[in-house]
């Protein structure tokens, strides 16, 4: 059992407020990802949880106990650093067993625990090597092994994959997900890579400027972003934003005037709008479709062919719109094309950048990674 | 050869094989070789100029007093006369032991104080850290003679004149700024993450320093220590003023051959040679460590 609660946690360095009152609940065995642009305070928040920084105010609670004044080693946490932070003068075995050695665990018991962790991570043949004789991926696994050996109640990961090359990153991502299943532990993971967040998290915490913008499952953030920032940050390529006006807004839907002059009804609640308000329409590139009868028109500036898909960058007035099309669309640069979108996949943001609530919830919005597992289990049986 | 360098083949065909090879590398190669040659020559010249006084001292030590002050000749019959005279007059081992005890003792003491000080400044810096470091270094800009009288009086009252303890304390204070400054730069190069990982693993500050910091910065600590030993060994001002016989190190031993009955160049040279020989050999044996330590951060 390991739950973590943050209550109004703040952190200031001198006059700079880095964390501005964060409330957060991490449930037992949950994989929580902190994501946000650099400088958003996600690493600082993790270091506060680890005990490497102290919170300026607010409470940290693990399993019902306030731990603000408990030292890093006594919180029952283990951390994997971005730089791996292996002890260069020790062998892999000594690296992994260091915490046990400090805790006064006997040599034999230590050896056994280290071997067990090494087995999980397939590090057994490397136990006698020094870190400098290991590859990046191996070092990363040793760093994880060092955390496993401590048998922590919560694992903390600080951008652990950012020093690896792309192929290895994908592989380690899968391995971490597998590890989460195998260890059945609570994990908190910091990254700036939204793909890592989307693929691994049960719950994503989007941070910006020291403030939590939204907390939710990956599908919730994707389908129901709370504001323009989350909408733009989650999803790749980025969501397109178009300035529109709303001549008619009711609780049953909002009618908007698109840049070309055509009108379209978006199924979101316009209760709090006055008619004529300036709004922003957000549509993900994958929800735009080439359509000769579509309401929008643009000129192709750049074409990126990925094989299975093609990214089209379209010039529309002053905006550059990204459209994900089929792999084999025949279009060329400078061609004028018409396109449209599915209204219920569109988002509307008011003048403050807040999303207008959708009238219907996406069926997968509440899905967690654990639910994926349950589903495959049923199918397999 | 012809196949490899077809364009230069006609010109080089008549040259002997060695020159052909040189010409084959082109004008750029030749220029580079010339530059290297001149650089090497310059380096050797500077080295010789620096080394010459030491060479002259060693040579003079093997001359008679008469030869020592005569117009220098290239060849002379070496004699151990001066060494015998020096040996008869003073107990070399007594002075040498004082030198060893004081320089090693003060170095260990400086490291003992310097490591925690540099640790706190490197890993727990405050707004005043930079200022503190500069202030410490600024004490080295004060001419020692400026504080001679107060220190002499304090030492007299504490009964520390002409004691190894007293000299050790002075040398420790003298080298402490350099020791802390050097350790600080070495510690700064150590990734903070490693110590934080140690803290997460349950290391106390002392364990962090002993199990992680010291082993990982050992080359730097060693070169700091070596420099401190050398500086203490060669220090003359304080040793001449604060000691007379009991605690006198080798610098005092040399000085004792300079004044009373006038200058005896040959004996002075013999004594000096014996005084610098140990530290010279020590420096030679540890030079690899010294260079490695002094370039520790640069080549990582």
Place of tokens 């220190």: B151
What residues of A are in contact with residue B199 (Cβ under 8 Å)?
52, 72-73
* pLDDT tens, position by position, A322-362: 999 999 999 999 999 999 998 889 999 998 899 999 988 88
Q: What is the pLDDT of residue B20?
A: 46
Whether A282 contacts A228, CB under 8 Å: yes
Task: Report the share of chain B in percent with pLDDT over 90.
Answer: 48
Binning pLDDT at 50, 70 and 90, where does residue A316 land?
A: very high
Residues with Cβ within 8 Å of B216's Cβ and at least 6 positions away in sequence, in order, are A87, A88, A89, B190, B194
* pLDDT tens, position by position, A143-155: 999 999 999 999 9
Our CA-based measurement puts residue A143 at a distance from the nearest CA of chain B, in whole angstroms, of 10
- List % helix, strand, coil for chain B (3-state, nearest 5): 75, 0, 25
Under an 8 A CB cutoff, do A73 and B202 touch? yes
Under an 8 A CB cutoff, do B203 and A150 touch? no
| H helix count then E strand count, chain A | 9, 20
Is the minimum CB–CB distance between A89 and chain B shorter than 8 Å? yes
Q: What is the pLDDT of residue B24?
A: 47
**Beta A77-80 vs A4-13: how paired, if at all?**
unpaired
Q: Which of A52, A78, A89 sits opposite B196 (nearest CB)?
A: A52
- A vs B, Cβ pairs < 8 A, gives 54
Is the minimum CB–CB distance between A83 and chain B shorter than 8 Å? yes
Q: Which of B193, B211, B212 sits opposite A81 (nearest CB)?
A: B193
Is the minimum CB–CB distance between A144 and chain B shorter than 8 Å? no
Whether A89 contacts B195, CB under 8 Å: no
* Residue B233 C-beta-side C-alpha neighbours within 13 Å: 21
DSSP string, A127-167: TTS-GGGS-HHHHHHHHHHHHHHT--SEEEEESTTTTS-HH
- Apex CA A17: angle with CA A15 and CA A20, to 5°? 150
What residues of A are in contact with residue B201 (Cβ under 8 Å)?
73, 98-99, 102, 146, 150
Q: Which of A130, A124, B215, B212 minimizes the C-alpha distance to A111?
A: A124
ipTM of the complex: 0.83
Our CA-based measurement puts residue B196 at a distance from the nearest CA of chain A, in whole angstroms, of 7
Q: What is the pLDDT of residue B2?
A: 38
CB neighbours of residue B142 within 10 Å? 9
Task: Report the share of chain B in percent with pLDDT over 70.
Answer: 86
What residues of B are in contact with residue A87 (Cβ under 8 Å)?
194, 197-198, 212, 216
| Rounded Cα–Cα distance for residues A192 and A197 (Å) | 8
Under an 8 A CB cutoff, do A150 and B201 touch? yes
Q: Which of A85, A99, A103 sits opposite B193 (nearest CB)?
A: A85
Is the minimum CB–CB distance between A54 and chain B shorter than 8 Å? no
User: Model's pTM, two decimal places?
Assistant: 0.80
* pLDDT tens, position by position, A57-85: 999 999 999 999 999 989 999 999 999 99
For residue A283, the cross-strand partners are A240
Binning pLDDT at 50, 70 and 90, where does residue B99 land?
A: very high
Residue A360 in 3-state DSSP?
coil
Q: What is the pLDDT of residue A360?
A: 85
Residues with Cβ within 8 Å of B18's Cβ and at least 6 positions away in sequence, in order, are none
DSSP string, B68-101: HHSPP-S------HHHHHHHHHS-HHHHHHHHHH
A91 or B261: which leads in pLDDT: A91
Phi then psi for residue B100, to 5 deg, are: -60, -50
Range in A212-226, A293-307, B56-70 the model is least confident about: B56-70
CA B143 distance to own-chain centroid:
20
């Amino acid at each position: 059992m390991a739950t973590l609660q943050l209550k109004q946690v703040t952190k200031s360095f001198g006059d700079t407020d880095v964390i501005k009152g964060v409330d957060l609940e991490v449930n037992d065995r949950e994989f929580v990802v902190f994501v946000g642009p650099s400088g958003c305070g996600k690493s600082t928040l993790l270091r506060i949880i680890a005990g490497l920084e102290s919170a300026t105010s607010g409470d940290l609670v693990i399993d019902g106990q306030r731990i603000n004044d408990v030292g890093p080693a006594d919180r029952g946490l283990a951390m994997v650093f971005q730089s791996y932070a292996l002890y260069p003068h020790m062998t892999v075995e000594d690296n992994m067993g260091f915490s046990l050695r400090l805790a006064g665990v006997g040599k034999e018991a230590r050896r056994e625990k280290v071997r067990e962790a090494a087995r999980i991570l397939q590090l057994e043949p490397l136990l006698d090597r020094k870190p400098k004789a290991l590859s990046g991926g191996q070092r990363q696994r040793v760093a994880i092994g060092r955390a496993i050996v401590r048998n922590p109640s919560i694992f903390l990961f600080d951008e652990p994959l950012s020093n690896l090359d792309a192929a290895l990153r994908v592989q380690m991502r899968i391995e971490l997900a597998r590890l989460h299943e195998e260890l059945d532990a609570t994990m908190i993971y910091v990254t700036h890579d939204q793909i890592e967040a989307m693929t691994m998290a049960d719950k994503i915490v989007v941070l910006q400027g020291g403030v939590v913008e939204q907390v939710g499952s990956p599908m919730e953030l994707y389908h129901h972003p709370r504001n323009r920032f989350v909408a733009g940050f989650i999803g790749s390529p980025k969501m397109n934003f178009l300035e529109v006006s709303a001549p008619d807004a009711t609780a049953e839907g909002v009618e908007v005037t698109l840049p070309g002059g055509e009108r379209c009804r978006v199924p979101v609640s316009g209760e709090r709008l006055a008619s004529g308000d300036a709004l922003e329409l957000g549509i993900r590139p994958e929800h735009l479709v080439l359509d000769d009868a579509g309401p929008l028109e643009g000129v192709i500036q750049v074409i990126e062919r990925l094989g299975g898909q093609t990214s089209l960058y379209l010039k529309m007035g002053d905006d550059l719109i990204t459209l994900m099309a089929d792999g084999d669309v025949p279009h060329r640069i400078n061609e004028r094309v018409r396109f449209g979108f599915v209204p219920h996949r569109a988002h509307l943001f008011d003048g403050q950048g807040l999303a207008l609530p959708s009238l219907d919830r996406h069926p997968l919005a509440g899905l967690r990674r654990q639910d994926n597992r349950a589903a495959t289990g049923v199918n397999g049986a | 050869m012809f196949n490899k360098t077809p364009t230069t083949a006609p010109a080089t065909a008549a040259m002997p094989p060695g020159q052909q090879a040189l010409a084959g590398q082109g004008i750029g190669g030749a220029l580079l070789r010339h530059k290297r040659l001149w650089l090497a020559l310059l380096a050797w010249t500077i080295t010789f100029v620096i080394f010459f006084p030491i060479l002259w001292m060693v040579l003079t030590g093997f001359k008679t007093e008469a030869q020592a002050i005569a117009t220098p000749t290239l060849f002379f019959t070496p004699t151990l006369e001066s060494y015998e005279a020096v040996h008869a007059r003073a107990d070399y081992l007594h002075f040498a032991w004082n030198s060893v005890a004081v320089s090693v003792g003060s170095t260990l003491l400086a490291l003992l104080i310097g490591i925690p000080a540099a640790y706190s400044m490197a890993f727990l810096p405050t707004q005043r850290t930079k200022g503190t470091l500069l202030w410490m270094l600024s004490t080295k800009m004060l001419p020692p003679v400026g504080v001679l009288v107060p220190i002499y009086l304090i030492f007299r009252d504490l009964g520390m004149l002409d004691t190894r303890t007293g000299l050790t304390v002075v040398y420790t204070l003298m080298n402490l700024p350099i020791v802390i400054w050097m350790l600080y730069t070495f510690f700064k190069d150590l990734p903070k993450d490693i110590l934080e990982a140690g803290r997460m693993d349950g290391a106390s500050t002392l364990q962090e320093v002993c199990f992680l910091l010291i082993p990982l910065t050992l080359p730097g600590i060693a070169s700091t220590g070596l420099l401190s030993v050398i500086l203490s060994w060669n220090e003359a001002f304080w040793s001449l003023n604060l000691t007379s016989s009991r605690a006198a190190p080798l610098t005092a031993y040399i000085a004792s051959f300079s004044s009373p009955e006038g200058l005896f160049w040959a004996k002075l040279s013999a004594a000096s040679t014996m005084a610098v020989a140990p530290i010279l050999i020590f420096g030679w044996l540890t030079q690899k460590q010294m260079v490695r330590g002094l370039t520790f951060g640069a080549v990582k």
